[in-house]
Homo-oligomer: A and B are copies of this chain.
């Protein structure tokens, strides 16, 4: 039996639901590939339309502009990741074990998830690493936030913050520590591969080392002194 995994998206992110038609799904899958290939700055709706074999205007019927599309893709990613976290930590009693599992999920290279047909999660994970922060590092961040565009990201942060608090009820920075490990899971990966002298993993370039670093950082922080 094949189970389809549907992630419910904020309707203000699109003009027409891209999950609802062939063209829409093509926009999602090919935008992931194209952004991964040429980077978000060089990515345009015209180039995307050429790849898909449709017209620029066709893309604009689904997304207002490329910023909205990036926010859509990041929101999708965080929604998908929250599901992964809930699924993979389900039935694990010990919050410490759950927290370790979360760090694994955040930092590990993602494999393409068969349950979501059109989006390649492995490529999307790479995009989140190198382009993800651009979704909120803008002048419109507050307006976008009012429209709840970043809710999936904040939800993941909250879930992780809650596990941290479960591990260590007295720790007073659970949310900041959560956002720190989320961001660092990505930044240390980017640095390791592109600016290796900013990390201690430049020689081996192993994600497992990032995981060890993050585990040490987190468990040292929440330990009762």
Contact = CB atoms under 8 A, between A and B. Distances in A.
Contact of A139 (B39, B133, B136, B157): B39
Nearest to A145: B195
A187 interface: yes
A157 B200 CA distance: 12
A21 interface: no
A4 interface: no
Interface residues of A, number: 50
A83 interface: no
Contacts of A177: 213, 217
A184 to B, nearest CB: 5
Given A177-B213, A220-B223, 15 more contacts: A42-B139, A133-B137, A137-B190, A145-B194, A150-B195, A153-B198, A173-B216, A175-B199, A176-B198, A179-B191, A180-B180, A180-B187, A180-B217, A216-B221, A221-B221
